[in-house]
Amino acid sequence: MEMSIHSTTILAVRHKDKTAIGGDGQVTLGTVVMKSDAHKIRRLHGGKVITGFAGASADAFALLERFEAKLKDHQGSVPRAATELAKDWRMDRSLRRLEAMLVVADKEHLLLLSGNGDVIQPTDGIAAIGSGGAYAQAAARALALHSSLRAMDIVRAALGIAADLCIYTNRNIEVEEI
């Protein structure tokens, strides 16, 4: 019997000149919750960049490590670091097998890095990945359009909605803002 890993919901919202990234803390293996307080949001480059990851943990950490190295190589330029990581991801055979995705942000940029080596800048400033990503993204879009909430509050509320709908998402929510 193959056990599939479902491990998170990550949501990023750029709203009113602030960007917030949040994630839940649940990690499941098959139908069992293995951990409820995982930390999937990280600050990099002296706290100037926030990242969130979804997918296989070891793969996500490998990508985070490489992204951080690219940030160093490119003086903290998030678009350049993301593009260079995407190039490596597409060309390096071992990287292509990684099963993880990243959302990265600084004060000016919000990008999603996919497992296909894509770098996507969402038009509406909202990006979500992971098991409950579609629920969180839909909720965040509605909240951004129809409320006066701050980015951090939109992320927290939308992740709460995703937790109500997605069995792989819990309410142990962590949010960072830049």
**Residues carrying an active site annotation:** 8
- For residue 144, the SS3 value is helix
Shortest CA distance to 52 belongs to which of 4, 19, 88?
A: 19
What single string gives the DSSP state of each residue in 81-96?
HHHHHHHHHHH-HHHH
Asked if 162 contacts 169 with a C-beta cutoff of 8 angstroms, the reply is yes
- 110 forms beta bridges with 105
Distance CA 42, CA 47 (A): 9
Asked if 66 contacts 85 with a C-beta cutoff of 8 angstroms, the reply is yes
